[in-house]
Amino acid sequence: MDAYVNLSGDVLPSDYRVNVSRYVALEGVDGSGKSTVAHALVERLVTAGFEAMTVREPGGTRLGEQIRELLLDSEKLDDWAEVFLFAAQRAELAREVVAPALAAGIWVVSDRSYFSSIAYQGRGRGVGEQKVRAINEMGLEGVVPDHVFVLDVDPAVALARQGRPDRIGREGVDFQSSVRAAYLDLATQDDKVEVIEGSLSVDEIVTHMIRVIL
């Protein structure tokens, strides 16, 4: 009988890949280190014997990458247009990439999720967090992360890390502080959302996440 061993040395049953929650999202303000941690987590999962992949939002599909350019490279964009463009690329990614991967037993680690829209557009743009949540959940039809880890970094520190910020990344500290506050509130409202101190090393962050998800 096949079995798997996680990084804590526990022997996992042969049907583990069927029963485990395998969809993980990394969240945080711009410059918080999500992409680096997402790739490190996938490497750790592969080392542990699992199939794993990363996806990014916006993007991840042909349509999603085209929408990404509109969202991040446009000089100006209406707030509600921003909401619906994010939701559109996210629905496409969920149906074309994430759902098939999960059905095949593959771990999916996402660099952002619809929780980003709740924080950025819902709170940061002021269009309404519950409205943004409802729009996205309608399009996702249940293909949502099982675990959401927010890398908490002071916005001033995070923004200073950026090399060539995009349109949203160029928003100031006040905007990013509003986004950060939204994430912290989400962690108190939703059991799947956990805040992790972003000043920890990548290895420390990934080790904690592994303990939670495995």
Domain ranges for the chain: 15-213
Consecutive H or E run containing 157:
helix 155-161
Instruction: Report the pLDDT value the prediction gives residue 16, as an integer from 0 to 100.
Output: 38
CATH homologous superfamily for 15-213?
P-loop containing nucleotide triphosphate hydrolases (3.40.50.300)
pLDDT band at 8 (very low <50, low <70, confident <90, very high): very low
E strand segments, the chain:
4-5, 11-12, 23-27, 52-56, 107-111, 147-152, 193-197
Residue pair 83/117 in contact by the 8 Å Cβ criterion: yes
At 46, give phi and psi (nearest 5°): -65, -40
Asked if 149 contacts 196 with a C-beta cutoff of 8 angstroms, the reply is: yes
DSSP codes, 37-68? HHHHHHHHHHHTT--EEEEESS-SSHHHHHHH
Residue-wise pLDDT for 40-67, tens only, equals 999 999 999 999 999 999 999 999 999 9
Model-level pTM?
A: 0.89
- 28: tokens are 């945080």
Q: Dig out the tokens for 15 from the structure.
A: 């049907």
pLDDT > 70 in the chain, percent? 91
In this predicted model, what pLDDT tens digit does every residue of 142-199 receive, in sequence order? 999 999 999 999 999 998 888 778 788 888 899 999 999 999 999 999 999 999 999 9
Q: Using CA atoms, how far apart are residues 53 and 201, in angstroms rounded to an integer?
A: 22
Q: What share of the chain is helix, strand, coil (3-state, %, to 5)?
A: 55, 15, 35
* Antiparallel, parallel or unpaired: β 11-12 and 4-5: antiparallel
Predicted local confidence at residue 164, as pLDDT: 77
> Could you read off the pLDDT of 106-125 as tens digits, one per residue?
999 999 999 999 999 999 99
